[in-house]
Amino acid sequence: MQSFRRKSVMLPLAALTATLAMGVQPSGAQGLFDMLFGGPPRHGTRLQGEFPPPPKPKKPVAVTRISSPTYNTYKPDRLVRVDFSALSSTPQNAAFAPSLTGTAFREALSGLEAFDLMAEPSVAKALVAYYSANPDFIWVSGTSVNGRGQEAVRVLGEAASHGLEPSDYSVSAPAAGYSTDETAGRLQDLIRFEMALSARVLRYVHDAQQGRIEPNRISGYYDFPAKPLDMPAVLKTLAHTQEARAYLESRHPQNPEYQALRVELEALEASAENDIVVDPKLLLKPGETSTELPKLLSLIARDLDDEMGADFGETLARLNASDAYVPELVPVIEAAQKKAGLKPDGVVGPRTVAALAGNSKADRLEKVKIALEQLRWLPSDLGSPRVFINQPAYSASYIDGGEEKLKTRVVIGKTSNQTSFFYDEIEQVDYNPYWGVPQSIIVNEMLPRLRNDPGYLDRSGYEVSDAKGRRIPSSSIDWSQYGGKVPFNVRQAPSEANALGELKILFPNKHAIYMHDTPQKAFFQRDNRALSHGCVRLQDPRGMAAAVLGTSVDHIAQKLKQGHSTEKVTRKIPVYVAYFTAWPDMTGTVEYFGDVYDRDVRLRQALDATEAVRAPAS
């Protein structure tokens, strides 16, 4: 059978060869088929040796970049008119003894009929809910404002000491004297005062506990959980206490950082305006002279802390009028640069001038008020131990028992890939980690190259897998078919070139942000360290890993020698990926930093929008 097949094919081939040699062309493809195989193929039958035509190439899909979060025009809640109509049909609650007469509160309710009290929707709802269940006065006894009411008015009037706007909480108390002929009018004044004060107290408590701004409305870079606030319960508590001040003050953050910022605010308010102006373009190197140098030295002397005072106080006192940048002054400038978070190179340039002389009194006041507002977004008790990352300071600290046990430089996200502002809880340390490449980097940075060089991930130590975890060669994928969503996972295997370096510290969050090592060590020597794709790179990753694990750096070194592994953090350690341009150190001294992402500007715009909405409120 095998020999028969060979002959049956060879004969037509010989004939075809002869035909071609004589210059005779087959009449067509079908004639060639007949010559080779003895007749036309049956319809729908694929013969041995026949291959289907190659598929038509698909048209490449356009690449759609994955964009970073944007900043929104902030829209505060509009105020609504409080609808008091539901109170007129509310039965008297026997559990509450009337403060005027048995019917005084009910009689006074008629004074609310034409009362245009404007409040936030949540406050308006809480007022009606509380007084429907508890139809009695909180702030009035007899025919006068009681001690509780007077104290509440005083506390609201001191809102500026917390960086708040006093006019947001302003309430006018009824005049003390009135005649018996004015009883009806007196009841109206008292009931309106009662409702107005309750409304402003609720606003004050909300602002003290949660902040005036809903940060998540500003941008997707902000991510804060809602803080529950039972407003009717606030009024009920105040109705049963004579310690209104203590209660209202307790609604503010109760941590040393908040108190230090309040002290700074008070000091700034009482201080003279900074009238020392240094040329912002000053460039001064050791050995040179400048009339701007004494101004800079005066600023350094004014802001001396105990440590710098002990080291350089005498030198500054002796040379504070010097135009010559002599060798003795170089360590002074270097120490001031280091304190300001700059590279201590001893060269006075624009960044040094901006750090030491760029914040006027008005600038510092604004930064402190912004910081007080942002602290209200965080838990009142920041926790211990904790990790605190302050992006504008380019630093990360491990704090335990009120002591800063570790402080290290960090690299944060570029302005186009900003690091978010949120808090979470540390869960684990990964040694010799894999780097799971985010979709944004795959699409925005890798995909354009992969379309021209599909095998470059294979050559560069990356692993590609599908949704089921199956490994796929990068070179086998038609990358031109994917635009804004790539259905493959890409990760970089552990190596010296791995983008995460030798370890990462995880606190899983929707932003895919974590702390990690980096092979780009030179970045830590820069003053401006907004250079990453959004994660936080640590100058001392081993020290931070040892701190959160409660172990030694030697333990970390041993784990790294053992290859890829994971170690769980067994303690509750909150981590704050924060953004404060004014922040106190552990001694309570407030330091100031540049607004690298212009977030202070945007928060001020949000506060102004809120003020504009509240301004017409009565």
3-state secondary structure 240-268: CCCCHHHHHHHCCCCCHHHHHHHHHHHHH
Q: Give the pLDDT band of residue 156 (cuts 50, 70, 90).
A: very high
The whole model's pTM is what?
0.80
Identify whether the C-beta of residue 567 lies closer than 8 Å to the C-beta of residue 339. no
Q: Give the pLDDT band of residue 25 (cuts 50, 70, 90).
A: very low
| Tens digit of each residue's pLDDT (9 = 90 or more) over 44-83 | 444 455 555 665 667 888 878 888 899 999 999 999 999 9
Residue predicted with more confidence, 274 or 2: 274
d(CA 219, CA 159): 27
User: 97-111, 213-227, 276-290 — which is least confidently predicted?
Assistant: 97-111
Is residue 290's pLDDT more than 80?
yes
State both tokens at 551. Answer: 């172990």
- Report pLDDT for 1: 39
Is residue 572's pLDDT more than 70?
yes
CA distances to 11, 320, 490 from 226, rounded to whole Å, are 87, 51, 34
Q: Which amino acid is at 262?
A: R
pLDDT, mean over the chain: 88
Summarize the confidence of residues 287-303 as an average pLDDT. 90
Summarize the confidence of residues 560-565 as an average pLDDT. 96
Which class for 498: exposed (0-12), middle (13-18), buried (19 or more C-beta within 10 A)? buried
Could you give the percent of the chain with pLDDT greater than 90? 69
- Report pLDDT for 409: 97
Neighbours of 453 (CB within 10 A): 13
Segment (H or E) for 395: strand 395-400
Is residue 601's pLDDT more than 70?
yes
- Report pLDDT for 44: 47
d(CA 595, CA 583): 13
Cα diameter, the chain: 135
Segment (H or E) for 403: strand 403-413
- Report pLDDT for 341: 78
User: 13-17, 105-109, 263-267, 323-327 — which is least confidently predicted?
Assistant: 13-17
Is residue 355's pLDDT more than 60?
yes
Summarize the confidence of residues 85-110 as an average pLDDT. 66
d(CA 355, CA 371): 18
Three-state SS annotation for 456-504: HHHHCCEEEECCCCCECCHHHCCHHHCCCCCCCEEEECCCCCCCCCCEE
Identify whether the C-beta of residue 384 lies closer than 8 Å to the C-beta of residue 399. yes
Peptide bond into 40 cis (omega under 30): no
Is residue 12's pLDDT more than 60?
no
* Three-state SS at 222: strand
Could you give the percent of the chain with pLDDT greater than 70? 86
Q: Residue-wise over 176-190: b if at least 16 C-beta within 10 A, else e?
A: eeeeeeeeeebbbbb
Summarize the confidence of residues 22-45 as an average pLDDT. 44
CA distances to 293, 300, 324, 443 from 276, rounded to whole Å, are 11, 11, 19, 50
* Three-state SS at 568: strand
β-sheet bridge partners, residue 284 = 348
**H-type helices in 271-305, by residue range?**
293-302
Summarize the confidence of residues 186-194 as an average pLDDT. 92
HSE-up (13 A, CA, CB side) for residue 220: 8
- Report pLDDT for 476: 94
| Tens digit of each residue's pLDDT (9 = 90 or more) over 492-541 | 999 988 999 999 999 999 999 999 999 999 999 998 999 999 999 999 99
Q: Residue-wise over 594-617: b if at least 16 C-beta within 10 A, else e?
A: bbbbebbebbeebbeebeebbeeb
Is residue 255's pLDDT more than 50?
yes
Dihedral sign for Cα atoms in the order 315, 319, 325, 328: negative
Domains of the chain, residue spans: 1-52, 83-248, 382-433+494-580
Identify whether the C-beta of residue 68 lies closer than 8 Å to the C-beta of residue 603. no
What's domain 382-433+494-580's architecture?
Beta Barrel (2.40)
Q: Pick from 284, 279, 278: which is nearest to 349 by CA?
A: 284
Is residue 616's pLDDT more than 70?
no
- Report pLDDT for 488: 95
Identify whether the C-beta of residue 383 lies closer than 8 Å to the C-beta of residue 316. no
| Tens digit of each residue's pLDDT (9 = 90 or more) over 405-418 | 999 999 999 999 99
The DSSP call for residue 380 is: S
Summarize the confidence of residues 218-240 as an average pLDDT. 97
Q: Give the pLDDT band of residue 19 (cuts 50, 70, 90).
A: very low
Neighbours of 166 (CB within 10 A): 13
Is residue 366's pLDDT more than 70?
yes
- Report pLDDT for 55: 59
- Report pLDDT for 496: 87
Task: Give, in degrees to the nearest 5, the angle at Cα 470 between 468 and 474.
Answer: 120
Residue predicted with more confidence, 614 or 9: 614
Q: Pick from 401, 443, 396: which is nearest to 545 by CA?
A: 396
Q: What are phi and psi of 115, to 5 degrees?
A: -90, 115
Is residue 23's pLDDT more than 60?
no
d(CA 349, CA 333): 11
Segment (H or E) for 37: helix 29-37
Q: Residue-wise over 414-440: b if at least 16 C-beta within 10 A, else e?
A: beebbbbbbbbbbbbbbbbbebebbbb
- Report pLDDT for 4: 37
Numbers of helices and strands, H then E, in the chain: 20, 21
- Report pLDDT for 240: 95
Q: Give the pLDDT band of residue 178 (cuts 50, 70, 90).
A: low
State both tokens at 613. Answer: 């909405």
